[in-house]
Chain A
Amino acid sequence: MSKHDNTAAVKIENISFHYGDRYVLDRINFEIPNGAFMGIVGPNGSGKSTLIKCILGLLKPQSGKVSFFGIPLSRFKNWGEVGYVSQKANSFNTAFPATVYEVVSMGLFGKVGLFRFLTKKHKQKILEAIETVGMTNFIHRNIGELSGGQQQRVFIARALVSDPRLLILDEPTVGVDAASVSNFYEMLKSLNEEKGLTLLLVTHDVGVMSDYVTHVACLNKQLHFHGNTKEFKEISKEGFSQMYGHHVHVLEHHH
């Protein structure tokens, strides 16, 4: 863990989000050290996506604070430093006429800014990002023609192209076939270890993820566990599954 420095990549202080009386997130506190690969697991409906959206400023929590690299969200402007890969399987229009190159280039648009065009240097960056995720052979293919796993790689490339320091992934393996999932995690792990990229991954899939991440937290309205992977594995032997199951039960009660 030598890569960690003092300011956390992300710091979450006391975030709560609710619709009326129904709490989706209840006083969440945690921070992600620089260079960590943090996984947050939770069953469906546990508030994972809501938490991610609050972190990214897409939703405004009723209370609490978020900061990136020591800068509060409200004043944070360097969005190029934060890459985001959302749960694409349900939301994106697979018939959209865009090539792999064009999709990845979108990751630079915010950074390049209004009324400006991509330069040669940017184009080089795009090619590099596509290379990093191993999609060079598909560069001029339409995104809709690719498999779920390949599409997800393209979206990672789009997030990487702006040279982020932090990558946030929301259920990135939904719609990806089982054989590709471990490849996908291997790729994330090497981005974390070789490039020093801080990763935050949110998923309902406890099994595979825990082999790759350095830190784990469990979410079910509240954050139930927060520590490194070693501690997590010890707990998970007995207590964890019980806890997980128990809270699933509590959740069903609310619906």
Chain B
Amino acid sequence: MSFPFFHYEFLQNAFLTGIMIGLLAPVLGVFIVVRRQSLIADALSHITLAGIAANLMLGRSSGFFQGLNPLYMGMAFSVGGAIGIEQLRKVYKHYEELAIPIIMSAGIGLSVIFISLANGFNTDLFNYLFGSVLAVKKSDVWTVFFILLLVFAFVLFLYKELFVLSFDEEQAAVSGIKGKWIQFLFIIMVALVIASSMKIVGILLVSALMTLPVAASLRIANGFKQTFVLSVIFGETAVILGLISSYYLNLAPGGTIVMLSVLILLLSLSWKKWRARKPILSE
């Protein structure tokens, strides 16, 4: 059987990037979800759009920006937005979630301005909004690979600290763990992963890949490590099956991946119900 994924470079690129993102997004997603910050991914993806729109706009007048991968500008904006969220959370200590709509609307506002200055929508922008496997370049693969290494090292070496900070910040403080800079690094990692997931699933769907696999595994996992493992398995399943089926069925890959995540979530919900009917689990 000849598998087209090994013949076309664009499919290889999309596949490699997809596999890396299927790992990255749920791993950070676990921490985001248990901290009840699920909407952060949405806020950061919209500010990333502003960065990409800015690059497309500048690309019209400057050769430098035209040659630049818009992903980098998107990442810069995303990291900026992440820092903004952290600062706003300090200002509004008792309304921490307020930071999210502020950054989100700023992101959309900026995007609309930049898009209009760049004379409206073009295919490039459309690809970023909804994802396009055709648009994944070799340089994207390497960028995402570098981010994968970075996030992997970050989570591996700071796993203990991230875990205890998510569970109980006060306890972390009492055991002498310095939470501030870990939280800061964490949100920067989130910003980078969001920016790098965009070409595959698109800005409007990025947060789904961070939260849906986690939502599904929370229903059935026992403990934190299991939640991790299941989230990654669900994320990878959705990405790999989504890419393959979207190719054969000629569907939009981003939407297919997200709908597969929804399907996995529904399956995990019904599995939980089915298990609950067995008398062993009742209290």
Binding site for B on A (CB under 8 A): 56, 58, 77, 79-80, 82, 84, 86, 91-93, 95-99, 101-103, 106-107, 109-112, 114-115, 118, 140-142, 145, 158, 162
Contacts and interface: CB of A to CB of B under 8 A. Distances in A.
Nearest to B174: A84
A80 B164 CA distance: 15
Contacts of A92: 167-168
Contacts, number: 82
- The A contact surface, by secondary structure, is mixed
Contact of A102 (B161, B177, B224): B224
Contact of B224 (A86, A98, A141): A98
Nearest to B163: A106
Contacts of B176: 77, 79, 110
Residue from A106, A140, A142 whose CB has the most chain B CB atoms within 10 Å: A106
Contacts of B177: 109-110
Q: Which 4 A-B pairs have the closest CB atoms?
A: A110-B175, A99-B223, A79-B176, A109-B160
Interface of B: 34, 36, 157-158, 160-161, 163-164, 166-168, 170-177, 218, 221-227, 283
Given A97-B218, A102-B223, A79 B167 contact: no
Given A91-B170, A106-B171, A142-B223, 14 more contacts: A58-B173, A84-B171, A92-B167, A97-B223, A99-B224, A102-B224, A102-B225, A103-B167, A107-B175, A109-B161, A109-B172, A110-B176, A111-B175, A140-B223
A77 B161 CA distance: 17
A115 B223 contact: no
A101 B222 CA distance: 11
B175 A115 contact: no
A107 B283 CA distance: 28
B174 A82 contact: yes
A179 B177 CA distance: 36
B18 to A, nearest CB: 26
Contact of B167 (A84, A98, A110, A114): A98
B174 A96 contact: no
Contacts of B166: 96
A77 B176 CA distance: 8
B175 A109 contact: yes
B223 A114 contact: no
B164 A79 contact: no
Contacts of A109: 160-161, 163-164, 172, 175, 177
A86 B170 contact: yes
